[in-house]
Copies of this chain bind each other. A is one copy, B any other.
Amino acid sequence: MPDPTLPAARTVAELRAAVSAWRGAGRRVALVPTMGALHEGHLSLVRLGKSKADHVVASIFVNPTQFAPGEDFEAYPRDEARDAALLAGAGCDLLYAPTVAEMYPPGFSTSVDVGGVSTPLDGLARPTHFAGVATVVTKLLLQCRPDVAIFGEKDFQQLLVIRRLARDLDLPVEILGGPTKRDVDGLALSSRNAYLSVEERRVAGTLNLALKTAAEALAAGAAVDSVEAEAKARIASAGFGSIDYVEVRAEDDLGRLGPGPLESPARIFVAARIGRTRLIDNWPVRTPVT
């Protein structure tokens, strides 16, 4: 039975004391950064961390700087007791749950901008988002100093941004992606799925099917621009409201592809709204055999 009372660090000093003790004993440490509201996707990352390191730290921090005014920072679900029990059950050794004041004390003014892979897709749709992510992840990695840090492929662009960040700033950590976990109808697990009404939830379940269909068409040799247009039409007619993007991009650097048949590994990315809920997803595309 996992210990239901997961130890928690609230400050950088407490976190470093715990991690230093492990490191001093020659143990490897994994960090799984989260914003809480945990689901099976997060827990699978904790288990992946446990398979790569002796100890897993999961952070829960709803980072205000990656939300724009009018986004759901205030509404974002928070239930630490529930999250802590789930983390303990998945084999997590330490919860790191700092306050906003611990992360951003008075006078804080620094920002990390990854450029490049952070600029298309969600970088266009949410212009301040990835600088907020890159800055807080830099801090979390330097506060914890793990051997490995794990991020979900559901936020695939974020994973690429953080890989680039770690490489560019020489952060001494290995960045690993964990596969997207999906519900029975294929909907990518997301804390934001909790916002959906029953009818919205039904519509949401069609998003992954549109991506899968598009990926199959691309693998069969269809042209990028027509596949994007068809996927967009399918998503709109399924009942989504505004669609921020449906785009096929290179899997390594998110470079623009097409308009013809694919010639290198790619992924199709979507961001679309149902009511006030914004969902994102992505799907790998196999290059057609030529």
Contact, CB under 8 Å: A108 / B142: no
- Which B residue's beta carbon lies closest to that of A117? B109
In the assembled complex, the CB of A186 is this many whole angstroms from the nearest CB of chain B, namely: 33
Q: Which of A228-271 contact B (CB under 8 A)?
A: 253
In the assembled complex, the CB of A229 is this many whole angstroms from the nearest CB of chain B, namely: 30
Residue A4 interfacial (CB < 8 Å): no
Q: Tell which of B115, B138, B167 touches A169, judged by Cβ atoms closer than 8 Å.
A: B138
Contact, CB under 8 Å: B109 / A110: no
- Which B residue's beta carbon lies closest to that of A131? B113
Which one of A109, A116, A167 has the highest number of Cβ atoms from chain B below 10 Å of its Cβ? A109
Contact with B along A273-288 (1 / 0, CB 8 A): 0000000000000000
In the assembled complex, the CB of A283 is this many whole angstroms from the nearest CB of chain B, namely: 24
Bound: A145/B170 CA distance, A = 10
Contact with B along A127-151 (1 / 0, CB 8 A): 0000000110011001101000000
Contact, CB under 8 Å: B109 / A164: yes
Contact, CB under 8 Å: A116 / B112: no
Bound: A227/B16 CA distance, A = 48
Residue A194 interfacial (CB < 8 Å): no
Copies in the assembly, this chain:
2
In the assembled complex, the CB of A28 is this many whole angstroms from the nearest CB of chain B, namely: 16
Q: Tell which of B111, B116, B143 touches A113, judged by Cβ atoms closer than 8 Å.
A: B111
Residue A199 interfacial (CB < 8 Å): no
Contact, CB under 8 Å: A145 / B172: yes
Bound: A145/B143 CA distance, A = 14
Contact, CB under 8 Å: B172 / A108: no
Bound: A170/B11 CA distance, A = 12
In the assembled complex, the CB of A255 is this many whole angstroms from the nearest CB of chain B, namely: 11
Bound: A114/B107 CA distance, A = 11
Which one of A117, A145, A164, A168 has the highest number of Cβ atoms from chain B below 10 Å of its Cβ? A168
Residue A165 interfacial (CB < 8 Å): yes
Contact, CB under 8 Å: A142 / B169: yes
In the assembled complex, the CB of A119 is this many whole angstroms from the nearest CB of chain B, namely: 9
Residue A171 interfacial (CB < 8 Å): yes
Residue A85 interfacial (CB < 8 Å): no
Bound: A109/B119 CA distance, A = 11
Bound: A142/B171 CA distance, A = 6
Quick one: given A138-B169, A170-B139, are A112 and B112 in contact (CB under 8 Å)?
yes
